[in-house]
Chains A and B, each alone.
Chain A
Amino acid sequence: MKYLDEYRDGDIAAKLVERIRRVQTKPWVIMEVCGGQTHSIVKNGIDHLLPRDVELVHGPGCPVCVTPLEMIDKAHAIARRPDVIFCSFGDMLRVPGSDGDLFSIKSKGGDVRVVYSPLDCLKIAKANPDKQVVFFAIGFETTAPANAMLAWQARQMGLKNVSLLVSHVLVPPAMEAILSSPENRVQGFLGPGHVCAVVGYTEYEPLAERFHVPIVVTGFEPIDILEGVLMVIDQLEAGRGEVENQYSRVLDRGGNRPAQDLIGKVFQVTDRKWRGVGTIPGSGFQLREPFRAFDAEFRFSVSTIDTQEPAVCIAGQILQGIRKPHDCPAFGTECTPQHPLGATMVSAEGACAAYYAYGRHLKDHDLVSIGGGR
């Protein structure tokens, strides 16, 4: 497939791995920020191609995983209402709240629908004027323009039966929280390619400077990731800490201005709670005043739901890159995609689910010996 196969080529991958081996002299810990990158790394077995001393840790960039339990409970409370058609991205359906998941709500008669675009909700709302259509607007900066467009168009069209349950989060404040933590192990970042395609990467420059940490904005194909790793290691070995752009075929420093304009008109920055991490100041979006009427939290009076997450959960440490999925004693035994204990096991982008699906429930050395020599 054109524009994809070039970035999955085994020979080019081998050459990049060879270059990484040549450049790298010390052990390094690199975090890929985005869940899509985590997925690609484990799906393609990229971590096993790298030198043993280059450790990839999986960041907080899985939107499903970082959505706090109280927000899931709010979503479920709305989805259970007989007057509601609840629309969501697919992988949110299996995330358990305090009492079941959206699949269970659907099986009990709730009208829960998977949409591929937030704008599908407009069509559903027009076709069902006697129902309230609610979209679960989760995600990072990547999904913000499309989610903003839903609110924008609903307002333009004067649709009274559309609303958004907003749980939007932002990448840079999360990276800042990770870097500021006394437990931090991360020495360099693969920056989130799709997020930066929307907002550019100027926001990352002060982070790189302040913490003297390399941030290489990176794509999602195997060759992208290997090249991103090489660029980070190049910087680390040279003692540099700068923002660089591996994903230049998709984005530039400024990002997508029309998308940023739309986001700015619809959303404003607010404090957000992250699963397993807690509240990070200025780390999310909420609807601006002119769009408040489309806020499902107020329309359905669920803003008082305040489910507490127990303080002790390794999911939070995994999302910050402090520990790995198989450091968790429940991983692969009590906690599987079949019976997920944490959201990191639920979404395909979640670090635990990715590890499980692609075989990291074997010990690392087992897999290397299985894969070796074939």
Chain B
Amino acid sequence: MSAQKTEDRAPAGPTTPEADRSAPLNPFGSCPLPIFDHPQIVLGHGSGGKLSAELIDKVFVSRFRNPTLDRMDDQAILDIAGTRLAFTTDSFVVTPIFFPGGDIGSLAVNGTVNDLAVGGATPLYLAAAFILEEGLAASELARVADSMAAAAQNAGVQLVTGDTKVVNRGKGDKVFITTTGIGHVDRPTRLSADRARPGDRILLSGYIGDHGITILSQREGLEFESSLASDCAALHGLIKAMLDEAEAAGDLKGIRVMRDPTRGGVATVLNEIAVRSGAGMYLREPHIPVRESVRGACEMLGLDPLYVANEGKIVAIVAPQIADRVLAAMQAHPLGADSCIIGEVIEQPSGMVLMKTNVGGTRVVDVLFGEQLPRIC
């Protein structure tokens, strides 16, 4: 996943001052546990949570700083000789490489197509780089390539350049794919994570958590059966329908933000938007669609579906005057049939996501620190 995907500052909540290992913690004296930073990369650095944000900020953003990168959206929008181009890249390391509803190949094409589409672009061209592990069955690679070709055709993009490397057995995990995409922003959209305004509606294109739970259910050691499939899909058509509707309503800029809530889930994306826009988010738990099977798996594993990955969903922040029209357009599209409004943007508390719970309480939906860890009991 690209650097653009992660927030450039600590999201919701109080700031965390850099810990000073030597200073005693006053005023309540020393603490039973030391403060520490990870001197090595740990898995949590790839989780999409606060650890990822900290890593990207400290290591990458500080070194590559420029106005385009600083937008920290899912794609860069570049103005080249009067043409607006969307440009993005993403790496795919999913295990297992084949899963119900897709495989690493379709995921690699659709993921990058979606990152272009949520920037308001028509996806055009892809580059693909493959890192293959010695010993990978050629037939499996062919299956992945077939799947990529089908996904590219479906998304109307051409794979126009690429690269292949092979690493020693044990130095990779079958196949890693990086796709890079270019798209044309052919209408005067203004989509950016800093444009949410109080009163805007929060639209979601369907059931959450299908992809993440499908992948988990396939992993060794979990062994729960389900009929779930990944929601892996190219969203350019659904997004075009939304933009067409907004344009027809004479309010193209009323679609303020679009994101695909992949790693880190809906909660992480909404927190990023809240922080970037300096606004709050207010969700209604009963309105958030979660399949029974996903809820069941989350209950069993101690996970929260709001943080589970999706690969075929859109979260959109839409101005109130066109929200119902855009919602209807989404519901009319096969990939958006279960779309709904899950909440609205509020003024305060700025930079935070709140949720009215099913029983009527209110909680804060924060950004996770690292990976979601299953609870003991």
Interface residues of B in 145-172 (CB under 8 A from A): none
- The answer to whether residues A49 and B32 also contact, given A64-B376, A330-B25, A347-B375 and a CB cut-off of 8 A, is no
Residues of B within 8 A of A45 (CB): 357, 359-363
A334 touching B19, Cβ below 8 Å: yes
- Residue in chain A with minimal CB distance to B33: A96
A304 at the interface (CB under 8 A from B): no
Residue in chain A with minimal CB distance to B349: A370
Q: A329 and B28: CB pair below 8 A?
A: yes
How would residues 343 to 371 of chain A score, 1 for a CB under 8 Å from any chain B CB and 0 otherwise?
Answer: 10001110000001111011000110011
User: What are the 7 tightest A-B residue pairs by CB atom distance, in nearest-first order?
Assistant: A45-B361, A359-B364, A371-B362, A312-B29, A90-B374, A90-B373, A107-B40
> Once the chains are docked, how many angstroms separate the CA of A299 from the CA of B13?
45
Main secondary structure of the interface of B (DSSP, over half): loop
Binds A, one of B41-49, B77-85, B201-209, B333-341: B41-49
CB of B253 within 8 Å of the partner chain? no
B226 an interface residue at 8 Å Cβ cutoff?
A: no
Determine if A157 is an interface residue (Cβ-Cβ < 8 Å): no
Interface string of A90-106 (1 = CB under 8 A from B): 11111111111101101
A104 touches B38 (CB 8 A): yes
A182 contacts partner chain B, Cβ-Cβ < 8 Å: no
List B contacts of A328 (CB < 8 A).
Answer: 28
Q: Are A13 and B38 in contact (CB under 8 A)?
A: no
Count of A-B residue pairs with CB < 8 Å: 213
8 Å CB contact of A338 from B16, B354, B361: B16
Q: A10-B359, A367-B362 are in contact. List 4 more A-B contacts (CB 8 A).
A: A103-B43, A329-B26, A336-B369, A357-B366
Q: Would you list which residues of chain B between 175 and 213 have a CB under 8 Å from chain A?
A: none
Residues A362 and B364 in contact in the complex (CB < 8 Å), given A10-B358, A116-B221: yes
Give chain B residues whose Cβ lies under 8 Å from the Cβ of A337: 50, 369
Given contacts A45-B357, A89-B376, A330-B31, contact A339 B19 (CB under 8 A): yes
5 contacts between A and B (CB under 8 A): A10-B358, A94-B373, A100-B36, A222-B359, A332-B13
**Segment of A136-144, A209-217, A260-268 engaged in the interface with chain B:** A136-144
Contact A275 B40 (CB under 8 A): no
Residue of B nearest to A88 (CB): B376
Given A100-B36, A104-B38, A341 contacting B357 (CB threshold 8 A): no
Q: How many residues of B contact A (CB 8 A)?
A: 58
Interface digits, A36-54 against B, CB 8 Å rule (1 contact, 0 not)?
1001001111111100000
State how many angstroms separate the Cβ of A324 from the closest Cβ of chain B. 14
Q: Are B32 and A315 in contact (CB under 8 A)?
A: yes
Give Cα A103–Cα B369 distance, bound, in whole angstroms: 13
Q: Which residues of B contact A238 (CB under 8 A)?
A: none
CB distance from A10 to the nearest CB of B (A): 5
Does A309 lie at the interface of the complex (its beta carbon under 8 Å from any beta carbon of B)? Answer: yes
Q: A103-B42, A104-B40 are in contact. Are A275 and B375 (CB under 8 A)?
A: no
Asked whether, in the complex, the Cβ of A371 is within 8 Å of the Cβ of B361, the reply is yes
A340 at the interface (CB under 8 A from B): yes
A338 and B364 contact, CB distance less than 8 A: no
What chain A residues lie within 8 Å of B44 (beta carbons)? 103
B299 at interface, CB cutoff 8 A? yes
Given contacts A107-B38, A107-B42, contact A356 B376 (CB under 8 A): no
What A residues does B17 contact at CB under 8 A? 333-334
Among the listed A313, A356, A357, which residue makes an inter-chain contact with B32, where contact means beta carbons less than 8 Å apart?
A313
Q: Contact partner of A310 among B31, B41, B302, CB < 8 A?
A: B31
B68 beta carbon closer than 8 Å to chain A: no
Residues of A bordering B, CB below 8 Å: 1, 4, 8-10, 13-14, 35-36, 39, 42-49, 63-64, 69, 89-101, 103-104, 106-108, 114-116, 120, 138-140, 142-143, 194, 222-223, 275-276, 309-310, 312-315, 328-330, 332-343, 347-349, 356-359, 361-362, 366-367, 370-371, 374
Bound-state Cα–Cα, A340 to B376, Å = 18
Residue interface bits B343-377, CB-to-A below 8 A is 1, else 0: 00000110010101111111110100110011111
Q: Are A330 and B361 in contact (CB under 8 A)?
A: no
| Contacting residue for A370 out of B27, B31, B51, B362, CB 8 A | B362
A76 to B299 Cα, complex, angstroms: 29
Given contacts A1-B295, A43-B363, A94-B373, contact A341 B35 (CB under 8 A): yes
> Which of B27, B31, B221 has the most chain A CB atoms inside 10 A of its CB?
B31
**Is there a chain A Cβ closer than 8 Å to B67's Cβ?**
no
Q: With an 8 A cutoff between CB atoms, is B39 at the interface? A: yes
Residues of A within 8 A of B225 (CB): none
B376: contacting residue among A10, A44, A63, A97, CB under 8 A: A63
B222 on the interface (CB 8 Å rule)? yes
Q: Is chain A's interface secondary structure helix, strand, loop, or mixed overall?
A: loop
CB distance from B12 to the nearest CB of A (A): 9
- A143 and chain B: residue at smallest CB distance: B377
Complex contact A342–B32 (CB within 8 A): yes
A119 to B52, CA, bound (A): 33
Knowing A1-B295, A332-B13, A361-B14, the reply to whether A49 touches B374 (Cβ < 8 A) is no
Q: Does B250 lie at the interface of the complex (its beta carbon under 8 Å from any beta carbon of A)?
A: no
Q: How far is the CA of A47 from the CA of B360 in the complex (A)?
A: 11
Assembled-state Cα–Cα distance A101/B370 (Å): 13
Contact B33 A342 (CB under 8 A): yes
Look across to chain A and name the residue whose beta carbon is closest to the beta carbon of B53: A338
Complex contacts, B50 vs chain A, CB 8 Å: 337-338
User: Is B282 within 8 A of A374, CB to CB?
Assistant: yes
Q: In the complex the two chains form, what is the Cα distance from A356 to B365 in whole Å?
A: 10
Whose C-beta in chain A lies nearest to the C-beta of B29?
A312
CB–CB A143/B376 < 8 A? yes
B57 to chain A, nearest CB (A): 13
Nearest Cβ on chain B to A33's Cβ, whole angstroms? 13
A280 shortest CB reach to chain B, Å: 17
Q: Is the CB of B16 within 8 A of A46?
A: no
Closest beta carbon of chain B to A138's beta carbon, Å = 7
User: In the docked arrangement, what's the CA distance between A284 and B356, Å?
Assistant: 40
User: Which residues B279-333 have CB closer than 8 A to chain A?
Assistant: 282, 286, 292, 295-296, 299, 301-302
Q: Known contacts being A69-B32, A106-B42, A107-B42, is A91 close to B376, with CB within 8 Å?
A: yes
CA distance in complex: A332, B26 (Å): 14
Contact residue among A106, A309, A336, A359 (Cβ-Cβ distance under 8 Å from B363)? A359
CB of A374 within 8 A of CB of B356, answer yes
Residue contact A349 to B375, C-beta cutoff 8 Å? yes
B359 in contact with A370 (CB, 8 Å): no
Q: Could you say which residues of chain B place their CB within 8 Å of the CB of A91?
A: 373-376
Tell me the smallest distance from the CB of A30 to a CB of chain B, in Å.
17
